[in-house]
Structure 1
Amino acid sequence: MTSRHLEEHVMVVWDPRTYLQFADERSRPFADLLARVGAEDPAVVVDLGCGPGQLTATLAQRWPGADVLGVDSSPAMVDRAQEHAGPRLRFVSGDVRTWVPDAPVDVLVSNATLQWVPDHRALLPRLLAGVRPGGWLAFQVPGNFDEPSHALLHALAANPRYADATRDVARPSAAGPGDYLADLTALGCTVDAWETTYLHVLTGPDPVFRWISGTGARPVLQALDAPRRAAFEAEYRARLAAAYPPGPAGTVLPFRRVFVVARKTVAA
């Protein structure tokens, strides 16, 4: 789901409205991830990096007996998520790098968040420690950072016209499914890891720019002052339009994602 920015040097302000422009497309990986979580009647479910909360609300619908908590580091996202809050569903501010549950949870979900945490594989033991024996840790991260959408962004950001402002912005990254499988198997989990490339068919003007400006490009764009941002956006839009030309059905955006579902071993 949302790219909740956790970079240490430049704090990015996320905009739920921009992010939700493609809510349907962004919800598909969340549904595909949760379809492989076999928890039947969990008592406590946590969405770590919940964004605007609409997908967290589906967790309360799936598991009507669970208390569901959404955690996000963006105040704007948490404020927007409050519209979904209810007796069994609440939202709080928190940082994935330091968040610890009050007690072990039954299901811990993180959707399109960990890619913003440098060396996030080192966090997996701590995240798993917050899951009870027999419980579930499930997350998905983008795996499209070599695609033109990102390659063009970083090449342009490195241009001398912009480099002084963009040098310290967050740059997301992720490992492959085999890496996460090895990490969590070594921690004693039964692991299901896979990848999927979605072909999102987008419509309207500058659709790929509108998509990435709400997520991966936002730290770069926000780091620029108004005149340079306008120039950067104009050049970036043109490059994206050339890399992703419209077809008969619309503009196709290939988007690879990496999924991991791990069940924590029950102690003998």
Structure 2
Amino acid sequence: MSQHWDPDRYLVYADERGRPFVDLLARVGAAAPARVVDLGCGPGNLTALLAQRWPAAEVVGVDSSPEMVARAVDVPGVRCEQGDLRTWRPERPVDVLFSNATLQWVPGHLDLLPDLVGQVAPDGWLAFQVPGNHGEPSHVLLHELAADPRFAGFTEGVARPHSHDPGVYADRLRDLGLEVDAWETTYLHLLPGEDPVFTWISGTGARPTLQALPDDLRAVFVEEYKALLREAYPPGPHGTTLPFRRVFVVAHPSPVHRDTRVPAARVTGRR
């Protein structure tokens, strides 16, 4: 089924979702890039930070969601376009290719890495961040409930985000001749309000499952899922703590391999 993103719901915890973007950006060493691309730009609020850091660069945001692109078109200093990162190709090599919390939605995205590297200029930078929390209760409980016979006929086969450990990405990119800085961080987000973990995940990881359900069953599913999340993430005196693991990768051509990387045309043909 067609998937739809809700920019307003996604932005409920904009500050918390923005922290990994800022931490990733801080490790990119590009001084004066001419062309910067944000793959999976979402509503563009974070892409604006790329334009602020490199005001002389052409900054392009790409997202597959028409709802997100519609929200992002008015971001100052950023040109946004709709596109699927699996098939999107730049007009010319990119000096900084950035992707925040997007690759986890692409099945088999490890095999996409040579394509992405092939789109980066010889002295350019590839930087991405993916959630690494898919074994946490928020996701485990979602999938267990979705497998209940009441819901399974509708939720079977829906999209599930998936990512790898930092070392897996680092090895793949080093095989392509890049120097790699890979790490992970677990943020402890303190969320206010009622059922905040449901509010968080319903804007991202649970979205395909919720959309797959008919209205009457969705209401039942939501109430049961909220109850499970309240038990797994009980509120404390200051709010509800959501531990959230993120995986970060920044890659740059090694001086030894800079002139021997596979040309982009050959890389993109090997899929």
Equivalent residue for 1:114, pick from 99, 103, 107: 103
Structure 1 counterpart of 2:138, which letter?
Answer: S
Equivalent position to 1:153, from 121, 142, 166: 142
What does residue 176 of structure 1 align with? Answer: 165
Matched, 1:125 2:108: no
Aligned length, in residue pairs = 257
- CA RMSD across the alignment: 0.8
Query: What CA distance in whole angstroms lies between the structure 2 residues aligned with 1:166 and 1:190?
Result: 41
CA distance in 2, matches of 1:124, 1:143: 18
Partner Cα separation in structure 2 for residue 92 and residue 264 of structure 1? 27
C-alpha displacement of 1:249:
1.4
Equivalent residue for 1:216?
205
Paired with 2:253 and 2:202, the residues of 1 have a C-alpha distance of 36
What amino acid is the match of 1:52? P
2:244 maps to which residue?
A: 255
Normalised by the size of structure 1, how large is the TM-score? 0.95
Say whether residues 1:187 and 2:179 are aligned partners.
no
Q: What do the CA deviations read for 1:21-52 (whole angstroms, capped 9, x no partner)?
A: 00000000000001000000000000000000
Q: Secondary structure at the match of 2:149?
A: coil
Aligned ranges 1:48-127 → 2 under 5 Å: 48-86=39-77, 89-127=78-116
What is the letter of the counterpart of residue 28 of structure 1?
R
Shift of 1:85: 4.3
In the alignment, is residue 28 of structure 1 matched against residue 19 of structure 2? yes
Q: Deviations over 1:148-179 (max 9, x none)?
A: 00000000000000001000210110000000
Aligned counterparts of 1:147 and 1:188: Cα–Cα separation in 2: 34
- Structure 2 Cα separation of the partners of residues 207 and 225 of structure 1: 23
Percent of pairs with identical residues: 66
Distance (whole Å) between structure 2 residues aligned to residue 70 and residue 116 of structure 1: 17
How far off its partner does 1:93 sit? 0.3
Matches of 2:55 and 2:209 in 1, distance apart?
A: 40
User: Is 1:200 matched up with 2:179?
Assistant: no
1: CA distance, partners of 2:242 / 2:85:
29
Q: Which consecutive aligned stretches of 4+ in structure 1 deviate over 3 angstroms post-superposition?
A: none
Which segments of 5 or more consecutive residues in structure 2 lack a partner in the other structure? 261-271
The answer to whether the Cα contact below 8 Å between 1:125 and 1:187 also exists between their aligned partners in 2 is yes
